[in-house]
Structure 1
Amino acid sequence: MRAACVQLSVRECDAYDNKRRALQLSADAADSGADIIVLPELFLTGFCYDLEPERYPYPSLTSFRALSLESGAILAGSIMASSGRGVLNMGFCMAGAEMGFYCKTHPFGDEKRHFVPGERISPVRVADLSIGLEICYDIRFPEVARKLCAAGADLLITIAQFPAERIHHWRALVTARAIENQIHHIACNASGSAGGSSMIVGPAGEALAEADGEECVIIADLDLDERDRVRRSITCWEDRRPELY
């Protein structure tokens, strides 16, 4: 599997230009043979609470759905979405017309005034793949990634707008979530007002691709069978004692 992270410089409230650049960079990733293309948290709008949240079928994603259908790639990201409970920071994975969702479990700081937290942590299943998707602040709660992986995730994805002043936390947390769960981790941060440093990390904690702070696309080839080989080599997954945790 070839994985790509589109490290977009998200301009708050500039949905038109964000969409234009996200679509072009995603198309470039698809042309490079990417099977899965990951975009940052709220990549279309940023934290622009003045905008109306979208309702199903989420018209802003129409062009990305067409790209997925044309290229065969899975696309992942998040948008502001309306629900019966309130506004959600809604993560999605799409494979053409097929879509699955995960809503941010842990809104951070002022987000709590605008987003209701998600109520379910489980992998998103699309195109015969089980994707453990989490959003930004969720990465500080190892229980989220562990629950996703214990439920059979084939790989872990974190989408974020993680701030530059704490980017050393980001790098450590991204690597730790991969090592402790012995799984590939695609961690896609925004650039610009966020800190960049997107990473694609292997199940043994090795960096397969890493970005700097600029808008870019990073790509790495993933052998998903490596997860099981690493877990057989160092048996901490097998040696867990969840009855005591």
Structure 2
Amino acid sequence: MRAAIFQMTSGIDPAANAAAIVAMIDQAKSEGADMLFTPEMAGYLDRDRSRAAMRLHSQADDPLLAAVRDASARAGLWVHLGSHAFCDERGDGRRVNRSLMIDDSGAIRAYYDKIHLFDVDLATGESWRESSVYGPGERVVAVDTPWARMGLSVCYDMRFPDLYRALTNAGATVLLVPAAFTVPTGMAHWHVLLRARAIEAGAFVIAAAQVGQHPDGRATYGHSLIVDPWGEVVLDMGVKRGLALADIDMARVEDVRGRVPAIANRRILPQKVDIS
């Protein structure tokens, strides 16, 4: 599979973000890509919740999603829309942070709502409550493509290996981790966590990332990665915006799992822990 990653600096104008993604679909196709991967919140990134609320749509009515699907069908290219925010998808009024797999006919093959939400009270007095705006997903999702079964996740999910255990138990050999990582956490944890997920799963990890200074004032780390099942970095985009391509040899999965059969050696652990 020839994978194309679009490392973006998404802004607060969904139409501009849509135009950028559509342009990258055409460019990726012209460069021989089989699938384009975009970051978390590719369509709209704005921490001003009131302003964001005026620009969000349901999945059925979202113009950015419609534009991406149309471009995918026109180009004949699979697209993983890393994630996009939708409203009116839950009964409790909260939004969803949804990852979508779109095939080369423009059809939505699968979607996944981010399960793990970042809620924290810091010693500095700062408090972050992602769950006050977004509702957590309740489904673990893998999707079959012509190249591999791919497991879906989003950003903060990468800190929870049980999710990837479930995905690889279901046969996933490529793990998708679109993200909008902050710079400090990216410098500390981005590479080590993604390499660990690849090694323990014996799977490829494809992590398209946001990068740079965004119009809403935040800064993101970049370094979109492709990591192979041995933990070797196949592609690291650094802080460069735009498109990068890499060829992925899926035979590498069987080779690595044959040498380190961690998947085959897994045991179902008891829920009760004996404490002495």
TM-score norm. by structure 2 comes to 0.83
Q: CA deviation at 1:129?
A: 4.5
Aligned partners of 2:18 and 2:67 also within 8 Å: no
Note if 1:170 corresponds to 2:179.
no
Q: CA deviation at 1:122?
A: 2.3
Q: After superposing the two structures, state which structure 1 stretch, 223-232 or 157-166, moved more.
A: 223-232
5+ residue gaps, structure 1, are: none
Aligned partners of 1:134 and 1:157 also within 8 Å: yes
Aligned partners of 1:183 and 1:227 also within 8 Å: yes
d(CA) in 1 for partners of 2:35, 2:138:
26
d(CA) in 2 for partners of 1:43, 1:122:
20
Q: What residue is the counterpart of 2:17 in the other structure?
A: 18
TM-score norm. by structure 1 comes to 0.92
Q: CA deviation at 1:213?
A: 1.3
Considering only CA atoms, is the larger Rg found in Structure 1 or Structure 2?
A: 2
Note if 1:202 corresponds to 2:228.
yes
Note if 1:80 corresponds to 2:80.
no
Q: What residue is the counterpart of 1:45 in the other structure?
A: 44
**Helix, strand or coil for the counterpart of 2:223?**
coil
CA shift in 2, pair 1:235/1:129, >3 Å: closer
Give the 5 Å matches for 1:81-230. Answer: 81-82=86-87, 83-85=89-91, 86-95=94-103, 96-99=105-108, 100-109=110-119, 110-126=129-145, 129-168=148-187, 169-192=189-212, 193-230=219-256
Q: CA deviation at 1:165?
A: 1.1
* Cα offsets for 1:52-105 (capped at 9, x unmatched): 432233331222212222333211121111313331001101002321100000
CA shift in 2, pair 1:98/1:16, >3 Å: closer
User: What is the letter of the counterpart of residue 117 of structure 2?
Assistant: P
d(CA) in 2 for partners of 1:134, 1:162:
14
d(CA) in 2 for partners of 1:125, 1:53:
29
Q: What residue is the counterpart of 2:216 in the other structure?
A: none
1:56 to 54, 59, 71: 59
**Helix, strand or coil for the counterpart of 2:151?**
strand
- The alignment yields a C-alpha RMSD, in angstroms, of 1.8
> Which structure 1 residue ranges, 4+ long, deviate > 6 Å from structure 2?
none
5+ residue gaps, structure 2, are: 120-128, 213-218, 272-276
**Helix, strand or coil for the counterpart of 1:189?**
coil
Q: CA deviation at 1:128?
A: 7.4
Aligned partners of 1:9 and 1:214 also within 8 Å: no
Q: CA deviation at 1:41?
A: 0.6
User: What is the letter of the counterpart of residue 60 of structure 1?
Assistant: L
Sequence identity (%): 30
User: What is the letter of the counterpart of residue 2 of structure 1?
Assistant: R
Aligned partners of 2:25 and 2:77 also within 8 Å: no
Q: What residue is the counterpart of 2:32 in the other structure?
A: 33
Q: CA deviation at 1:154?
A: 3.1
User: What is the letter of the counterpart of residue 10 of structure 1?
Assistant: S
